[in-house]
Amino acid sequence: MVKPLKKNNKIKRKGPVILAIMDGVGFGAYSEGDAVRDAKTAALTKLYEETSWTKLKAHGVAVGLPSDDDMGNSEVGHNAIGCGRVFAQGAKLVSQSIESGEMFKGKTWNNLVDNVKQHGTTLHFIGLLSDGNVHSHIDNLRKMIIKAKEMGVKEVRVHALLDGRDVGELSALEYFDPFEEFLDGLNDDSFHAIIASGGGRMAITMDRYNADWSMVERGWHTHVLGEGRMFSSAHEAIETLRKETGAIDQDLPPFVIAEDGRPVGQIVDDDSVILFNFRGDRALELTKAFEAEELTEFDRKRHVKVQYAGMMEYDGDLHVPKQYLVTPPAIDRTMAEFLCSSGVKQFSISETQKYGHVTYFFNGNKSGKFDENLETYVEIPSDIVPFEQRPWMKCAEITDEVIKVIKSGEYQFIKLNFPNGDMVGHTGNYQAVVCSMEGMDLQIARLKKVVEEAGGILLLTADHGNADDMFEHDKKGEVKRKEDGSPKAKTSHSLNPVPFIIYDPAYQGEYEKDLNTGLGISSIAATVFNLLGFDPPEDYDKSIINLK
C-alpha cells in the first residue's frame, strides 16, 4: 500500500467530490455531425455559462498512444484519469516490441511456434482486422505472419473480425481484400495462410464484462468448430451478408470459409492460437473459453487442448492469460490506492458496459479492491439490445443510486460513468446519439441539484470524444455523403478535446477561477486530490486548478 497523501486542508466541503465521466463526449471540430452540440442540453449549457471549465486532451501521446494521429479510447482514458500520469499503452508497447524484434525472442512466441512445428499443426490468429489501433492493428498481424513463415511454420489460419467502430462503418473490404492478397503473396509450396472465419465484432467473440456470453459462444462455434454458413472467401461472405442483412460491419453475422464443403480452419488439439487484440476488456471472455477447464457460460462441445496466448496480459491481478506476447504497462500508485491509504471512502458505479472502466481500468488494469472497507462498487445491468433502441441506456438508474449515496453522507469521493455518448455513438445513428445526450443531460441536472444541497463538488469530464464527431469529413472539412445524399456515418472515436467542468456551489475562493489549459485528462487525478484537501504526489501530472 502507498503512503497516505499529505493533507493541506485548503479546501473543505461538507459534501463529497463527484467525478462524472461522460463517456465519448468531446468538443466537435465541425458544425455538421456534432450530436453533442445539436442536442438540447440545458443543464450542460448552463454549467458552461456559470462555472469554471476548460478543455483537456484525451488522445494520442497525452494518453500514452504512439502519436497524435491515434484516437483515445475508454481503456487508456480511464487508465490516465485513474493513475494521474501517462504510461505507454498497449498499441505503443506492441508496435515497439515487434519492431525491435523482442516479441519474437520471447518465450511465449517461441513456445507457440515450436508447438506447431513439433506436431505439424496450425498457427491460428484471432482478432480485429483493421488499423483502428484501439484493440489491434493489422500491421502487427502481417509482421507476425511473415515471422512465423521465416521460422518454419507451415500453416496459418486467420479468424478475422470486422471492425466498423474504430474505423469506417463499411470499410471492411478496404482491409480484407488487400490482406487476402498479402496472404496469397506469401503462399508457396512450403507455406499456406488463409482467412478461415469472421464476423462483426458486435455480433461474435468480442463481448465484455459478461454482458452477453452468447457472442462468445457464436465466436467459438465459428472460429473453433468451423460451424456456420460457409463461403469460398471472406470477400464473398462480406458482400453477400451485407446485401442480405443491411448490417454495418460491426454487426455482420458470422461466416466460415470452406473448400469442398469443409471448413479450412477448425482449431484442433495441438494447434497454437494467438488472440492478437491487445486491449483487455473484450479479450477476457474468449480467453476464459480457451483456458478454463470447466466452463459454465456455454457448451464448448470440444475443449481443444492448444497452446493459447494473448497479445498482452489482459488482467494483471488474475494473470490472464497464462501466456502473453508483450508485457503490459505496470500502472501503479493509482488515485484509488492513494485515497484508500488516506482513509477516503469511495463509491464507484456504472452500468455493465462501462462498469469495468470505473473499476478495473481506473485502478490500473487491476481487478478487486484496494480496501474492502473503504470501496464500494455497484454495477447496473445493461440492457442486451442494440444501443440505438435504448439510447438513454441506464443513466437514470445510475443517477438514482448516486443521489442516494450523496444524501447518505457516507462517501467522500464518488465516481460514475455515463456510457451514452460512446456506446450509442458507435452505432452511427445520429438521432439516437442526440437522444442519448439529452437523456444524460436530464440526469446531470438532477445531480447538480443534489450536489448543491449536499455542499459537494461535481466534476464533469470525458475519457475521449465520439458523439461530437458522427459524420465522415474529407480533408477540406466537407461531409462525405452516400449516393442518396445522406451523410456517411462515422462510428469511431474522435481526436477532439473533452470538457472538464467544476461545479462548486460552496466555492470560497480557495483556488483560481481560471483553470490551467493545455493539459491532458491525466491531470484530473491531482485535481481531485486538491479538491479533497490533499497535496498530490510530486510525480502526478499538474493539477487543473491553482490553489491560492
Catalytic residue among 52, 74, 436, 492: 74
- Helix axis angle for 90-100 and 138-150, nearest 10°, is 30
Q: Are strands 262-263 and 255-259 parallel, antiparallel or unpaired?
A: antiparallel
Active site annotation includes 74: yes
**Is the peptide bond between 537 and the residue preceding it cis, with omega within 30 degrees of 0?**
no
Cell of 121: 499443426
- CA count, 13 A, side-chain hemisphere, 498: 37
**Is the peptide bond between 321 and the residue preceding it cis, with omega within 30 degrees of 0?**
yes
* Pair 326, 283: CB distance under 8 Å: no
Q: What CA–CA distance (Å, rounded) separates 452 from 454?
A: 5
Q: Is the dihedral of CA 224, 226, 229, 235 positive or negative?
A: positive
CA Rg, the chain, in Å? Answer: 24
| Closest of 444, 494, 434, 440 to residue 466, by C-alpha | 494
* Pair 496, 27: CB distance under 8 Å: yes
**Can you spell out the DSSP letters for 151-212?**
TT--EEEEEEEE--SSS-TT-HHHHHHHHHHHHHHH-BTTBEEEEEEEEETTTSS---TTS-
| Closest of 227, 236, 224, 237 to residue 266, by C-alpha | 224
* Pair 332, 364: CB distance under 8 Å: yes
* Pair 541, 16: CB distance under 8 Å: no
Cell of 269: 488439439
Q: Is the dihedral of CA 134, 136, 140, 142 positive or negative?
A: negative
User: Per DSSP, what are the bridge partners of residue 149?
Assistant: none
Q: What CA–CA distance (Å, rounded) separates 91 from 72?
A: 11
State the DSSP H helix or E strand holding residue 258, giving kind and residue range, or none if neither.
Answer: strand 255-259
Which active-site residues does the annotation give? 74
